[in-house]
Each structure stands twice: as C-alpha cells, then as structure tokens.
Amino acid sequence: MKGSLVALDHINGRTVAAYMVDGRLDDLLMDAPDSTTPAPGSIFLAIVDRPLKGQGGVMLRLPNHTAFLRVNKGLRPGQTLLVQVTGYGDDGKAVPVTHKILFKSRYAIITPDAPGLNISRSIRDDDERDRLLECAHNQMQDCDFGLIIRSVADGVPSDEIEDDIAEMRTAAETVLAGQSGTDPTLLVEAPDPHILAWRDWQAPDQVVDNEGCFEEHGVLDAIEDLKTPLVRLSGGASMYVEPTRALIAVDVNTGGDTSPAAGFKANLACARELPRQLRLRGLGGQITIDVAPMPKKDRKQFEMALRKALREDVIETALVGWTPIGHYELQRKRERLVIDFTAL
C-alpha cells in the first residue's frame, strides 16, 4: 500500500511496533526478551559504587544491574543519585546512564536541569511560535523546569498541547520529590514500543493495532528478511551486515556487474540503505564498511550520499572517515536493542 502505516502487535509475547512506508518496513521497535533489562528512558535512584580511574566516570548500583556514569566530580561512594538510562549495555557491560533527566512526551520535553522555554527550530512561522510559547507559559509559570516544545506540536490544538505539558510537569515533580532512600530503586519505567511509536513516529496515514495485523500488512515477511545478514541492493549488488563483539562489519559486493563503475554504484546503494538496516536491526557502536573497489576520486560522493541518508535517520551517527587500507568507519549511538531475529 502507498503511504505510511504504523502497526502495533506482539511476537512471541513481546511488544513490537512497526513503521511501514509504501509497503516497506522503515523502522521497528521491540522490547527486550528479559523484562528486567533496563531500557532507555528508565529513571532510577542509583547508588554510587566506585570511580573508574582513567575513564572519567563512576560505577553505579541499580536493582539487579550495574551502570556507568561519565561523571565523577563531587561524587562519593554510597551517595544516591537520580539517573536515566540512555542505551542498552553490551553483554557483560554496565548500563549507560546520564544524570541529566528528561521527561519526554509527544509534544513536549521537560528539562529539570535546563531552565527556559524553547520551541523547536523547525517551526518557523512566527504566529505559530507565539501560540506555542503562550501554551508553554500557561503551564510552566511558577516552575523552575525547562521546556522544549517539539516540532510535531505544529498546528495541534492548544488544549491538547497544554494537557501534554501538564502531564509531563506532574511526572517530573513527582519523581524529583520522591528521590529519597538508601537503596537503588526503579522510579519510572521506560516506555514500551507501542508508546514510543505514538511518541516518536509522526502523523502516519494509518494506525492498525488488531491482533494479527503484522501478518496482514507484510511486517512478518519483512522481519523474515532480517534473519540473514545478506541485504540485496539495487543493480544486483549486495552487502552483508554482520555484528561481531568488537564492531559491526559491512561488506559491499558488486554481484554480477563487472563494469568499471560497478563498485561505485554498489557503494552508493550501500550508503542509501545502510542507515535503515542498522535502525531495523538495532545495531550501534563502531561500524566498519569494506566498500567495493572504486577510484579515490569517487569517495567524496560516497560520503555525501551516506551523510544525506544519515540526516534522515533518528539515531545519532558520526562519520569517522577512511582507514589507511580503504575501509570507511562510523560511530553510532547504542540506543536500540540489538534484535536476535533468529530467535523470533
């Protein structure tokens, strides 16, 4: 089907949300198989355990887990600290957290540690910005918290936006008022994939949430394709996306094309498709691309295509550059759960 569709369903008891664009799977959210795994967005009262010399951070104790905070000044063992999970920890590693807490909803983000009322820069109409600023003032007066109104609020009725702001402000006040105690405690659970889909996927043409909707709309077939590292590209080219313990390896192949421009065309196709594949598979960290052979003069155009594709991606990714042996490296934030599709 043409247009965008959000499908909300379950696979083997796990909550899953899928975003389809013109019948093609564009994004996928799935909760962890272990319900005790701290997910991004969770807020904890943590206990400072010990500093890690040379790493600029401290280890923290959470309920049933350890966490790493990249701050150590002014912290002492045994001290309690309010933290928020920012990503998934690798197997055997600590959960990454931050002490800068955010309360995020569909239209607004409450920032307790950053005062000020702000409107998304992507909203450029002055009258609309004034209207949204009035909504912010109505709900945030006599409050020291900061507020960011998100771009999706553009054109939304004022009462709906103000209700959203009020709900987030109440949540922030409740959490910050209840951060006493001496034991590590979960204060706010992370939103599940269905809530994240409502919060972060903007204005789909259709939303379906009946049981079995994944099969009806081709989501299960798209997930089946993700069970293999092989990704078919245009022009008969392909790439393999394979996670290892140290990095994500991407190998680009030209297929049966033996023309002089085959390598360049395959690499451009890889640049356009790679952000989607990383997003769907939940992959992050260090990424090394073994590009197909191409002249050095074409490298800049490859980088431009990759940069353009990443601008439309929702996960922060840095372009590191070329290695001496001709590989291209990226560094991607680990904020998604790595999905083992073979286990589904």
pTM of the model: 0.90
Burial of 12 (0-12, 13-18, 19+ CB in 10 A): exposed
DSSP-assigned states of every residue in 272-338 = HHHHHHHHHHT--EEEEEEPPP--GGGHHHHHHHHHHHHHT-SS-EEEEEE-TTS-EEEEE---SPP
Give, for all 344 residues of the chain, the pLDDT tens digit. Answer: 789 999 999 999 999 999 999 999 999 999 988 877 899 999 999 999 988 877 789 999 999 899 999 987 888 899 999 999 999 877 778 999 999 999 999 999 999 999 999 999 999 999 999 999 999 999 999 899 999 999 999 999 999 999 999 999 999 999 988 777 778 999 999 999 999 999 999 889 999 999 999 999 999 999 999 999 999 999 899 999 999 988 999 999 998 888 989 999 999 999 999 999 999 999 999 999 999 999 999 999 999 999 999 998 989 999 999 999 999 999 999 889 898 888 88
- The reported pLDDT for the residue numbered 157 is 97
